[in-house]
Structure 1
Amino acid sequence: MRIEVSRDDPFGLHNLPYGVYRSPDDQRDVAPRVGVRLGEHVVDVGLLLGDDVFATGSLNAFMAQGPARWASVRGALTEALAGDLPEASVHRLAEVTLQLPFEVADYVDFYASEHHASNLGRLFRPDAPDPLTPNWKHLPIGYHGRSASIVVSGTDVVRPCGQRLPPGASAPVVGPSVRLDVEVELGFVVGTGSPLGSRIATADAGDHLFGAVLFNDWSARDIQAWEYVPLGPFLGKSFASTVSPWVVPMAALEGARVPVPGQEPVVPYLAMEEPWGLDIDLALAVNGEVVSRPPYAATYWSPAQMLAHLTVNGAPTRTGDLFASGTVSGPAAGQQGSLIEIGEGFLQDGDEVVISGEARLADGRRVGFGEAVGRVVPALPMVEGQREEEQADV
């Protein structure tokens, strides 16, 4: 059979994002398989190319093979998908169940949008002469999160509990967050790692970066505000982060590269001849209503600079490492990437959040990312002295 897609389809041959899927006929003991999206279909890469590396349940084994292999497979897929396909390898997108596409090794979240950082600086430090902290334009600020709490699109998010200090109170209370927020972000997946004690130069980022995903760093602002001094975000972030099910290869985004906003002189290990960002239009919708359209092109720090900073101290990287951009916000009204910036309240139980995005290529075509979807469900009851499994039955 042949899959016909138009040149303008955001999931055409110029994109070919990777995902991991189960078909309706799969048995529970059968590992999910790697597929590539073409239009409204998912094509099994292992069956199409005759390679068992795509039948291991995640993208990690393939990503670990390195950039030459990534390019070879992309070329083979482009050629094969333009012709007749074995019927057994093709599934309609609506009929499969998409899984977390890769095993997340380590996870770091950055704070790379100057507009977001300035917006929060004005909110939290209204009397400061500069909304940015003194270090902000010298290094990409980041924090380490919990990789085990990263979930695929469509997974419900349980409202987190923790300590918070209500306005005017002198002591904290314990219970569900009442200021649950979202953060519209882009995440980058490390395909090949680097050993302990080494560094990745900005010019070498392409040898390590496999692809990009949509990312929602759910945030309990009240828990975070009470805990983050002096060591930064912890329980206010680690309860869940949502990724889109499709990993868009960096090769598909070459034509979306744009200069980053003008940077001040940076230290040598962050210097780039032409610092690049990506022209990606993002959208945030709550309960079906689009409330913001953040532009990733407005982000100050390049993905290559984030990766270089992540390893400047000799920290190792591994296949499946994920680092995210931090909240993406633009300079104009309607471009804020979090509800706290929009200023119209926080999430209620039952609210559904959808982050979507498309990259704009220089030739006018678009590259689709799909969606990162999550629905807020009520917090588990807090009952002192009971085990977690007992609480769930209360």
Structure 2
Amino acid sequence: METNPTQYRLEGDGADIRALPKVSLHDHLDGGLRPQTLIELGDEIGLEVPANDAESLGDWFTTQSDSGSLVEYLKTFDLTTAVMQTREGLSRVAREFVQDLAADGVVYGEIRWAPEQHLTRGLSLDETVEAVQEGIEQGIDDARHQGRRIRAGQLITAMRHADRGLEIAELAVRHRERGVVGFDIAGAEAGFPASRHRTAFDFLASRFFPVTIHAGEADGIESIKSALLDGRALRLGHGVRLAEDLVIERQDDENTYVSLGPVAQWVRDREIALETSPSSNLQTGAIAAWGDELVDHPFDLLYQLGFRVTVNTDNRLQSGTSLTRELWLLADAFGYDLDDLEAFQLNAAAAAFLPLDDREELAEQIEDGFDEA
């Protein structure tokens, strides 16, 4: 788990990254539990957990998640979702989730989760969404009492290997005035393209409802194409394998010359945001084609080429991380300064599923915060 939070300062100017205003677009509810909460909720339902103290349990999650495989990585969620099957469990997890975001300097967060995975103890789909919204609002109120300002919305996710896409899309639209800001599909990517849920995406498009899709994590360009064409995705969840559509023509001491394939060109020219999650991308093997260390991540290449890159945590529990830590790791790997970190936050603000006026206000909040750093 993340330790010594005071260490996350930029080289050079020493800016405290945790204090900077940040935007989180890709953060899974069932991947952000506090280990102690999981232990306590597990005790209530008689669930056996791999460790009985929070530190050891957090270490177990990060170890299990360092598999190099998305499929193996996803197995850790069997444990977290098991304690999120009641209104009380869902509300508590959501409330603490928002509290932790606010403590990390996040001023706007989109929280994604799959209601269809939380029905084993009798809740309806609508009741699960209501429970999570209740927790989110409590967390926002808690933050306000602590002098922190945060706004958060739900991203309702359908599991791409299941056949409930349209039902979950209808659920999301039903709650669009009650906390839900967008739709997503997640789960095992290879073999389950967005086209399997084309009916759901047609429905969402007819309702002018925004979509982000996990693509370019465990599968390549064809998966990204399906997300764009079948899903009308406005953002790509991870999207790092878009780099497979780049060709490095030549390099010299000062420059790298790159040509873009048609998919990469489309994504860049239309400023479709990439929701990268550096630590998670290492754990799941999403960047295996380029290496196994953070410095091998194509993030910097995509950034230098003008793609709308954003920085995210994906699953804070599984990666033992925070948004502050992810930014610090990137700054350390690629020598980024305060202006770069601000650019990533402004990219995320511009891609947020908010009305234009709210996005502009969010951008101003970020600029003001960075000016004060």
Q: Same fold (TM over 0.5)?
A: no
Q: TM-score, normalized by length of structure 1?
A: 0.24
Higher helix share: 2
Tell me which structure has the larger Cα radius of gyration.
Answer: 1
Which structure shows the bigger proportion of residues in strand conformation?
1
